[in-house]
Chain A
Amino acid sequence: MKLLQLYEDVCVLPDQDLVQENANVDGKSPLGKLARLSSEVSKELSQTYLMSERSKQAVSENYLYVHDADYYITGSTTCCQIPLGQLLKYGFHTGHGTIRSPKDIRSAMALASIILQANQNMQHGGQAFPMFDVDLAPYVEKTYERQLSRLQSLPVDWDDAQLEQLAEEETISATYQACEAFIHNANSMHSRGGGQVPFVSINYGTDTSKWGRILIRELLRATERGLGNGETPIFPIQIFKVKEGINFHEDDPNVDLFREACRVTGKRLFPNFSFIDAPFNASYYDGMHESEVAYMGCRTRVMGNRHGEETSIGRGNLSFSTLNLVKMALVSESLTDFYRILNRYIDIGIEQLVERFDYQCTRRAEEFRFLYTQGVWRGSEQLHMQDEVRDVLKQGTLSLGFIGLAETLKVLTGSTHAESREAERIGLDIVTHLANRMRVAAEAHDLNFSLLATPAEGLSGKFVTRDQEEFGMIEGVTNRAFYTNSFHVPVYQSVSIREKVRIEAPYHALCDAGHISYVEVDGSLAHNAEAVESIVRLMRQHDIGYGSINHPVDRCGNCGLEGLIDAACPTCGEDEDIERIRRITGYLVGTMDRWNTAKREEERARVKHDAHSIRR
């Protein structure tokens, strides 16, 4: 390996793109550099010792991208929906002594932070809680009981109603403080790889119990309040689960909390919204909270299971790789030829995932102690420390993803799926084909293969840069610094909100390993919860699985004004200290200097749904 080159790239003149693959790490910090160096070396090791020639070739020819390749050699898996309730109920071990079941909401939420931190270093992707409200509600109730008995012991003459009211008020304020501390922790624990905050997501919204409702309301309040100086919290990624009969219709018990969630999204970009009633999610729903779909914030979804219960809980993705559809289109001579090439690389992609899976299976439980000895991963209670993890890994998913459907269609048909019905139809055909191939692979290997709408922040620029070298600048295809995410309508094309949702919705059903649709809005939503609600209802109507609304959230560091700020703050004139929160791959990012070129350019190219002239 060219060690000298590595030295120059990382240590001498840090290039924004090399050090800034990931928007959440400060690539210029010492730990950021160290991480970069070790990741290059470990990638080299896995390529030399673990990957087959065919896989390596597909990667080197820019057809396939292996995500988190720097972790390959460790045998780690991507992510997990952590069974928080169970861990809190029975207590757990982080390595130094046992932690007992908490007695109130403050300690329960502090432990929730510790659990995320402990599990983060077992895996290379995000960490999530699948039913945050349901899992924490018992500790809100415990807090209430504690408060009640404390108040009863005081030498004051209160009647029962007064006592209960006081205890409830105390409980609400304790819950608020616990939520506030949890959010602060999520934005400040640099525990991931030593230099990053963990990618934390929480799902909630369906607990209709008194205690669960208090938790949801206070969590939303704390989110709205923001961090110490009112900054927008970047973590956790919050996902509000929309369910008809629970929080969607006028007389549903949690409809007030749904409205509250819409309002908070208008100010803070979170929560996002997931839809239990979308047919592909509803088919798993049996009325129990455990059967509600849970998403990782980035979009990863794990439901179907050939080896056990069909639930998100205690499961996650094992690894994923992404196909560069655009290059396949560029080298093909016809649509038929495109499918021939696509099939070839789907074969290789499947092989490569199985190859990595086989290696992951040879790892032993003791290498990932928290994940496998504390009951985090489904089925792990049957493992001994020295056991290989093969049997329990089957609970996870192997996912093949794709990028640049829009540019691919541009090459194949001359227009994107937002520009012609013909392209729209071919787009659906291609992705249906990918989904079918995953189904067949699942049968053939008896593993949970699934199709992913790849979230691709570092990748969207890497594929295109290499393709530019080979094919030059092709208008509408390679002439930007990024390829469009998965099946999305390109950010540079102007379509109405309705059109975008309509065009993207059918792909949610096809991409069972994860999907998300974004709606871009050009004005601040801080005063317009009704608009958020209309968009969420539109998503529901079209059977979207997981959706998110992007709107500019700027904040003047001088006077605190929030909203859309152009060059300078309109109130105080401040033009430097402006915090600009934007969303990348589902994650919020605070300042744009942590963005790589592809993402910066994408932000610049975004067409907000803006004024059209009178006659188009």
Chain B
Amino acid sequence: MRAVIAEDSVLLRVGLVKVLEAVGYEVVAAVGDSAALLTAVEEHQPQVVVTDVRMPPGFTDEGVRAALLIRRQWPEVAVLLLSQYVEERYAADLLSSNTSGVGYLLKERVANVDDFVDALQRVASGGTALDPEVVAQLLVRRHRDPLERLTPRERDVLGLMAQGHSNTAIAESLVVSDSAVAKHISSIFTKLELPAADATHRRVLAVLRYLGEG
């Protein structure tokens, strides 16, 4: 798979290239700012883009804006955003249009190579990967009242679901059966008054839509 990396810290950029190449990606370009990122995406048409949020020249949210542009212009390119801190608006922006093939992780998660690669692969294959901290923040925010109707277990399931995990992955991490997870999920959808849907990213969209607008 072809990948483009945008990260202004040389140290991390080199590290990311190494990690991606080690797990079988072909890094066609590694750049240091968002303008170069857009040029590289246009030129190489990669399958996946890994980009920092804060980049030159403004050091604010260049990465997010570039990601949105890429999602609009080349919807088939998956984008994984890395950020120094959690900002729910980035997540909302990113997920508002299309939740397939996007991810938003804290930068330091790349230190845990296995988790990072797992998230990257989920994104590259059209899924979603949200940092647990992002999800925690989304869940703590407004519109809590309907969420309070959820049992603690259902909250756990909702959290993992929002991170982009499949039913099987959720069942594994909570050490319950697949059918128990399915039961929890349908109960969550009932309580949140959302029509159940089967595709992973639709569930994330539903959760986020609910959190963002409900």
Chain B associates with chain A: no
Q: Which residues of chain A have a CB within 8 Å of any CB of chain B?
A: none
Q: Which residues of chain B have a CB within 8 Å of any CB of chain A?
A: none
